[in-house]
Structure 1
Amino acid sequence: MPGYIVQVGAAIQCPHAAQATITPSNQRVKAGGMAVALVSDQTTVTGCPFQVPVGAGTKPQPCIKVMWQAPATRVKVSGQPVLLQSSTGSCLSAEQIPQGPPVIATTQFRVKAV
């Protein structure tokens, strides 16, 4: 599905509203003045407040990273597909438990891809 290309400065959150940050491996191709995000780039989540109810208490189970699953199908940078605003993925806890999909709130609005 076509969508705007995600750049490193895009606003991405886990389903619990914690900020996700992309560490770029690409420094050559840019959109909106920032490096284009690739499916292989590490996306970390910091400050996730999610906790699982356990018995009488709770167990912290914060999102710590995003695994992207549906990047662009036709546009690649250095052999890796770029991320689109329509890309899907899963936020994962430290125990690799899926916590829900990430939310790409804002990105650049000049370059689209498929």
Structure 2
Amino acid sequence: MPGFLLHVGAQVQCLHAGNAQPMAVNSRVLVSGQPTVQVTSPYSVSGCTMPSPTAGNGPCVTGQWTTSATRVTSMGQPLLLQDSQATCIPTGTGLLVITTQTRVTGN
């Protein structure tokens, strides 16, 4: 399905309200003046509220994307979309895109 391209300025959180930021960006494609993110870039999570292993299996540390655009690539790698799916390590939960730019869509 088509969705808005994810960029560095997008607000992304783990399902426990921890903030997530890409560890690598794609400066070859800009949207709203900011770099986009490729599917291969893991996200670093900070501020996750999931309890440590004695009371839970958290907190979320990183997130890796498992789905992305199928038709939009940059430097041979698919770009991330607003509806892309990710899995956090070590909790196994997902990342949630809260806000992103709304001018450029991909499929």
TM-score by length of 2: 0.91
Structure exhibiting the larger radius of gyration computed from Cα positions:
1
CA distances 1:5-55 after superposition (whole Å, capped 9, x unpaired): 00011000000001000133421210011101110112110111201674x
Aligned residues: 107
* Paired position in structure 1 for 2:22: 22
Which is strand-richer, 1 or 2?
1
Runs of 4+ in 1 over 4 A off after TM superposition: none
For structure 1, the 5+ residue unaligned runs are none
For structure 2, the 5+ residue unaligned runs are none
Report matched runs for 1:25-104 at 5 Å.
25-51=25-51, 54=54, 58=55, 61-93=58-90, 97-98=91-92, 100-104=93-97
- Percent same amino acid at aligned positions? 37
CA-atom RMSD, angstroms?
A: 1.6
Give yes or no for contact 1:6–1:85 (8 Å, CA) kept in 2: yes
C-alpha distance in 1 between matches for 2:53 and 2:57: 9
* Paired position in structure 2 for 1:105: 98
